[in-house]
Amino acid sequence: MTQDSTAVPGKFISFEGIDGAGKSTHIAFVADLLRARGKSVVSSREPGGTAVGEKLRDMLLHEKMHLETEALLMFASRREHMAQVIEPALARGDWVISDRFTDASFAYQGGGRGLNRAKMEALEQWVHPHLQPALTLLFDVPLDVARARLDATRTLDKFEQEKVDFFAACRTEYLRRAAQFPERIVVVDSTKSIEETRATLTGILEKLL
């Protein structure tokens, strides 16, 4: 099932990928493209997207904590995001584009850190039992490309400081989910130039418009 069994008028798109894959670079482009097609767009992110969620984000990206605490806080941020931003926007008929959603928890807390998948599925059922994105764009690059992009651009947060094995496991879990949900998750080869990737994204989005 993609999106919502109760058929809300708006559409929900999530952006995923390991750190440095190039996802943030393309979010503004997608927002502009949708607006140019007359859509009302809400652009948001996880963890974060609400006042409470941004406080949780600050903790999550900078404090060391137990793995299960980390997973629970990711889903706490998501619960608030659902209530304050995603559900009201979709009910109004807006398009919501989110820089990460639940696939990131499966990839990072599940794949990267090794949290039991059944626990994550229980949290997913609790927090958004009836909603999945209509489309998930998974920006995929080899680990060395992602690392080079990160090193060239910014001060690294808690997750970005992880070792290569961690990102390898995150990427594997993202690709496993893409194979599990092929009708929802589209893998975008993010080794291509920004222009080529934009053309690919335009083609994918045309099918949703």
Ligand X SMILES: Cc1cn([C@H]2C[C@H](O)[C@@H](COP(=O)(O)OP(=O)(O)O)O2)c(=O)[nH]c1=O
Name the site residues for ligand X (rule: CB under 6 A): 19, 24, 45-47, 74, 99-100, 104-105, 108-109, 159-160
Q: Taking the complex as a whole, how short is the minimal distance between the CB of residue 193 and ligand ADP, in angstroms?
A: 6
Nearer to ligand X, 37 or 117 (CB): 117
- 21 assigned binding-site residue: yes
Is residue 140 classed as helix, strand or coil in its secondary structure?
strand
Decide: 8 and 90 in contact? Cβ < 8 Å. yes
Distances (CA, A) of 17 to 30, 52, 93, 120: 16, 24, 27, 18
From the list 39, 79, 119, 149, which residue makes contact with ligand ADP (rule: CB under 6 A)?
149
21, 41, 82, 90: which one contacts ligand ADP (CB under 6 A)?
A: 21
Q: Which stretch binds ligand ADP (CB under 6 A): 6-14, 105-113, 177-185, 192-200?
A: 192-200
- What is the per-residue DSSP string for 48-101? -SSHHHHHHHHHHHH----HHHHHHHHHHHHHHHIIIIIHHHHHHT-EEEEE--
Sequence ranges of the binding site for ATP? 17-24
Chain residues in the site for ligand ADP (CB under 6 A): 17, 19-25, 139, 149, 153, 190, 192-194, 197
